[in-house]
């Protein structure tokens, strides 16, 4: 009988953390830190006036050249040394872009691109120079190596502004708030 009482006491001691909602050390282990991801910034492109022309801000994930060509065109000027996508870029890479439209000429500074739990996070800052006499469509275009990612999160000036799923192919446009 004494043996049964001891077993019951041990059972209660083992069950107590579960009943009180406490977790084990394995559950409390911190998640691995976000992994820094390599990327390239590309310029020398204009935004097609047929792509979400009425949106003040657009975010897009592009996985093939025909879809890229629907959103962007090559802007050629004399002495141009812009860093553009190489031929066959989409064989191993995909593109994420943020596009701001309005009366300010924006510049972007990417602070980091990280991956955590199959989500890429693109962190960047913007600076603008207003011009009441002109309208601009200013793109941030990044190419990244294809990996096992399910979504892309855009963090602008420290604020999360958009999360997009990674579509299997083509273009995945999204307007703010969608």
Q: For 15-34, what is each residue's pLDDT tens digit?
A: 444 444 554 444 555 666 78
Which residue would you say has higher pLDDT here, 96 or 117? 96
pTM of the model: 0.76
Burial bucket for residue 122 (CB in 10 Å: 0-12, 13-18, 19+): buried
Structure tokens belonging to residue 57: 């801000």
Q: Who's near 51: CB < 8 A, 6+ residues apart?
A: 58, 70, 71, 99, 173
Of residues 79 and 169, more confidence is placed in 79
What's the mean pLDDT when you consider all of the chain? 83
User: C-alpha angle 94/145/116, rounded to 5°?
Assistant: 105
What does the pLDDT read at residue 9? 45
| pLDDT above 80 for 178 | no
Arithmetic mean of pLDDT, 112-140: 95
| pLDDT the model gives residue 97 | 98
Nearby residues of 12 by Cβ (< 8 Å), 6 or more positions away? none
């Amino acid at each position: 009988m004494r043996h049964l009482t001891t077993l019951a006491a041990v059972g209660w001691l083992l069950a107590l953390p579960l009943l009180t909602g406490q977790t084990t050390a394995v559950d409390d282990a911190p998640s691995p830190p976000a992994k820094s991801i390599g990327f390239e910034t590309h310029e020398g492109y204009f935004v097609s006036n047929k792509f979400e022309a009425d949106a003040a801000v657009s975010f897009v994930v592009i996985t093939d050249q025909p879809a890229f060509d629907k959103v962007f065109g090559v802007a050629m000027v004399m002495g141009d040394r812009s860093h553009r996508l190489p031929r066959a870029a989409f064989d191993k890479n995909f593109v994420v872009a943020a596009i701001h439209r309005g009366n300010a000429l924006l510049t972007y500074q990417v602070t980091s691109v990280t991956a955590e739990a199959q989500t890429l996070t693109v962190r960047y800052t913007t600076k603008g120079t207003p011009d009441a006499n002109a309208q601009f469509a200013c793109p941030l275009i990044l190419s990244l190596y294809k990996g096992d990612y399910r979504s892309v999160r855009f963090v602008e000036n420290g604020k999360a502004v958009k999360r997009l799923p990674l579509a299997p192919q083509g273009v995945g446009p999204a307007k703010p708030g969608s």
